[in-house]
Structures are given as structure tokens and as C-alpha cells.
Structure 1
Amino acid sequence: MGLLNSISFQRLQKGIDAATMRQNALANNVANVDTPGFKRSDVSFESFLREKENGLQPSLGAKVTNLRHIQFGSAGSIPAPVIQTDENTSMNNSRNNVDIDREMALSAENQLRYSSYVQLLSSQISMMRTATEGR
């Protein structure tokens, strides 16, 4: 297993991917704030990751009926970010459900999340570089 194939690097990579996808979805929401019938989108990742880590999300949906059954599938895999559209709400008569203030707040939160992921990744690479070069 390579140094960059660890589970922490995979989590950070998926987190960065999710933050990028979320920023694109939020930008699309803002761009369509006045489009009649437009429904906002968001990206789900952190909740899926939390469920996976807590064992609440089955790896392949296989049912285990006996404790002696062998677990199979990708138990250590990181869930992929998923774009979800909110079809159930409406903000006004045009059936659009984009709240510009909420979208801007979510965008700022996402920017902070992205920055922290990149900073953590940089820190881990720096620690590995120190360990391998001995400086």
C-alpha cells in the first residue's frame, strides 16, 4: 500500500471532491434564483461518511442473518458525494425554492470546509515529507 493510498488521504480527496461539487451546485442555485420552477440542489457527503464510519450504512446492502456469515464488499471504501435536488419545497409563486441568503451562507461554509480539507492534506504531506527526508 502506497503512502498516498491511506484511508485518511482517500477521505480528504473525497472531501475535496464533495466540496468542489457542492460549490458548483451552490453556484448553479444562485444563478437560477429567479428561474421559475427551478429546484435547488445540494451535495450529500459528510452525512454519508459519518453513517459509514458509525456502521449505519451497509457496504453492499447485503443482509447478514447470522454472526458467523462472512462480511464481504468494500467495507473500507469511502462513499461518493451525491447531488440531491430538493423537489418538495417552494419559496414563492414561481415554484422556485432558492433562498439567496441561505445559498450565500452555505457557500461561505463550503469555502471554509474546502480550505480546511486542503490544509489537512498539505499538513499530512508535509509530515510524510519530513519523515522520509529526515528534516
Structure 2
Amino acid sequence: MFDDLSTAALRVAVTGLSARQNAIANNIANVETPGFRARKVKFEEALQGAVARGQSPLGIAPSTSESLEPTRLNGNNVNLDEETLSHIDTTMRYQLTLRAIDSKYGLLRDAIKGA
């Protein structure tokens, strides 16, 4: 019950979105650090592929890479506007995923109570 495909996918999504939030926070914190290269987190394609094949996505881990955006004169390539939008998008996705998990366990709670 707790390791079905949808629950596993939601768990991987929460992990990936959390990793992305951490990377975004680190990027924003270093917006003025000379030579700092922004980091990007990806996991959606691997998660979508596993779910489409009907495979458990539990082995999927978020991958982190350096942004290929051009750098400023100080060697930093953090784009504050892009990071802010990414933060908002990721926060909304995270909240939606948590709601889906809550709903799934709410149904289980109701079934156990016999409601």
C-alpha cells in the first residue's frame, strides 16, 4: 500500500523539489559571490520515464549540474529574476505534491476508520 507506483512517484517528487529549493536558496545566497556558478536540479524527466514504463521510481535521485548561463564580469552567473521565478514555481509544485500525499493518506485514514 505504501510502496505503490503513485506513492513512490510522490516521494521522489518531494525529494527532488526539496533538493531544487535548496539549490535555489544557495544560488540566491551567492548572487554576489565572485566566481560562483548557479546550480540546477533535474529529476522530472527520469521520474516521468519510470512512471510511463510502470517501473518503481524509488531509485531515481535528483541530479545537480552547473548552470550554463553566461557569467557577469565577476564570473558569477546567478540570475536573480530567474531564481525568484524558479523558487515560486518550485514552491507551488512542492505544495501541490504535499496535498496529493495528504489526500492519498486521508483516503487511507478514512478506509481504516470505516467512514
TM over 0.5: yes
Aligned Cα RMSD in Å? 1.5
Instruction: Look at both structures and tell me which one has the larger radius of gyration over its CA atoms.
Output: 1
- Which ranges of structure 2 fall in alignment gaps of 5 or more residues? none
Are 2:42 and 2:63, in contact at CA under 8 Å, matched by a contact in 1?
Answer: yes
Are 1:91 and 1:99, in contact at CA under 8 Å, matched by a contact in 2?
Answer: no
Pairing 1:80–2:78 present:
no
Which TM-score applies when normalising by structure 2?
Answer: 0.89
Which TM-score applies when normalising by structure 1?
Answer: 0.77
Aligned residue number for residue 63 of structure 1? none
Deviations 1:30-57 (A, max 9, x none): 01111111111111111221233445xx
Q: Tell me the distance in 2 between the aligned counterparts of 1:125 and 1:39.
A: 40
Pairing 1:119–2:99 present:
yes
Identity %: 30
Aligned residue number for residue 31 of structure 1? 29
Are 1:43 and 1:81, in contact at CA under 8 Å, matched by a contact in 2?
Answer: yes
Q: Tell me the distance in 1 between the aligned counterparts of 2:109 and 2:16.
A: 26
1:1-135 equivalences under 5 Å are: 3-55=1-53, 76-78=55-57, 79-86=60-67, 88-135=68-115
- Which ranges of structure 1 fall in alignment gaps of 5 or more residues? 56-74
Aligned residues: 113
